[in-house]
Amino acid sequence: MDQPLPNLPELSLPRIVVIGAGFAGLKLARKLKNKNYQVILLDKNNYHQFQPLFYQVATAGLEPSAISFPLRKVFHNTPNVTFRMAEAQRIDQSQNRLYTDIGYIEYDYLILAMGADTNYFGMKNIMENSIPMKSVSEALFIRNKIISNYERAINIADIEKRKALMNVVIVGGGPTGVELAGAMAELRNEVFPKDYPQLNFHNMKVVLIEAGPSLLAGMSATSGLKAKEYLESLKVEIMLQTAVEDYDGLNVIIKR
Ligand SMILES: Cc1cc2nc3c(=O)[nH]c(=O)nc-3n(C[C@H](O)[C@H](O)[C@H](O)COP(=O)(O)OP(=O)(O)OC[C@H]3O[C@@H](n4cnc5c(N)ncnc54)[C@H](O)[C@@H]3O)c2cc1C
């Protein structure tokens, strides 16, 4: 929008605009409380999301409110720090202006702390057909998708078609994939058979696919091995050195 953001406090201090109230932006804004700067913290949501526990929301272990915190509450009584819900759209460096969906804002210093997005490595079908997990709403989408698939599966007589609604394939054997695979297997082993006694959960596979030779590649070899052993004890099928090439919404295609 080509209008200035209204109702910002007029302070004669150098202005720092921080885009993104994730771990980085929020920490910085908190550090700058009561310092000689005016800080405007922007985020497209008015809450902070604790990403490490998304997998718990996806598997119904936690409610979204347990891992989302209102940003305005963090900045009570902080006259030099203002939060505004806005989505950054473009920067005009020649005028020190940041354009957002609700207007532009002028800055002396601009900090980009917008985090990262899911990397699909250029695979368009996977982008269209798979479900990422980079926000509370995506984690909730996974939860709802799983539950609605089982509600549908109960009404399907053909076993192969039923299995297709029950299997879960997780791609990426880093910490998030490992946590999610473990939580899904626990649900399958302990919870779902009670909720859906008409479904046979021996038909449900939890598969974890990793392109590299071990799980938790960024951690020690022992951690990777322990995670593998533990997941296998939960009956997670682990496919190492296996690269996913495509996914049409029904079949995961492995690179040969
Ligand atoms: C599922 C999952 C599990 C994880 N588990 C762990 C873990 O166990 N341990 C660990 O150390 N790390 C973990 N991480 C990584 C960790 O969460 C990130 O490294 C960290 O969040 C990065 O912080 P950040 O502030 O750079 O970005 P983020 O926390 O991603 O914050 C970016 C913020 O910018 C906002 N934003 C984005 N674009 C715009 C825009 N255009 N305009 C306005 N606002 C915008 C977003 O809404 C968001 O609030 C996990 C990540 C995920 C996804």
Q: How far is the CA of 134 from the centre of ligand 1 (A)?
A: 8
Give the model confidence (pLDDT) of 206-237 as tens digits. 999 999 999 999 999 999 999 999 999 999 99
How far apart CA 129 and CA 149 sit, in angstroms, is 15
pLDDT at residue 163 above 90?
no
80 and 189 share a domain? no
What is the domain range of residue 71?
15-112
Catalytic residues: 179
155 and 222 share a domain? yes
Q: Is residue 129 part of a domain?
A: yes
Ligand 1 atom, smallest distance to 180 CA:
1
Q: How far is the CA of 67 from the centre of ligand 1 (A)?
A: 13
60 and 83 share a domain? yes
Q: Is residue 4 part of a domain?
A: no
Ligand 1 atom, smallest distance to 114 CA:
34
pLDDT at residue 1 above 80?
no
Residues with C-beta less than 6 Å from any ligand 1 atom: 19-25, 42-45, 51-52, 54, 87-88, 113-115, 133-134, 175-176
Q: In 10 A of CB 164, how many CB atoms?
A: 14
pTM above 0.85, yes or no: yes
Considering the chain, what is the average pLDDT of its residues?
95
User: Which of 112, 147, 162 finishes a domain?
Assistant: 112
141 and 235 share a domain? yes
**β-pairing verdict for 237-239 and 252-254:** unpaired
57 and 163 share a domain? no
147 and 249 share a domain? yes
Give the model confidence (pLDDT) of 3-26 as tens digits. 999 999 999 999 999 999 999 999
Long-range contacts of 139-148 (CB under 8 A, 24+ apart): 139/54, 139/55, 139/57, 139/58, 139/64, 140/57, 140/58, 140/64, 142/58, 143/57, 143/58, 143/59, 143/60, 147/60
CATH code (residue 142)? 3.50.50.60
Which of 23, 48, 136 most suits a substitution to test ligand 1, by most atoms within 8 Å of the C-beta? 23
145 and 228 share a domain? yes
pLDDT at residue 119 above 80?
yes
Give the model's pLDDT for residue 97. 98
Which token pair is 68?
A: 């989302």
Q: How far is the CA of 75 from the centre of ligand 1 (A)?
A: 20
Give the model's pLDDT for residue 203. 85
103 and 134 share a domain? no
247 and 150 share a domain? yes
The number of distinct structural domains making up the chain is 2
Residue 2 pLDDT level (bands cut at 50, 70, 90): confident
CB distance 207 to 169 below 8 Å: yes
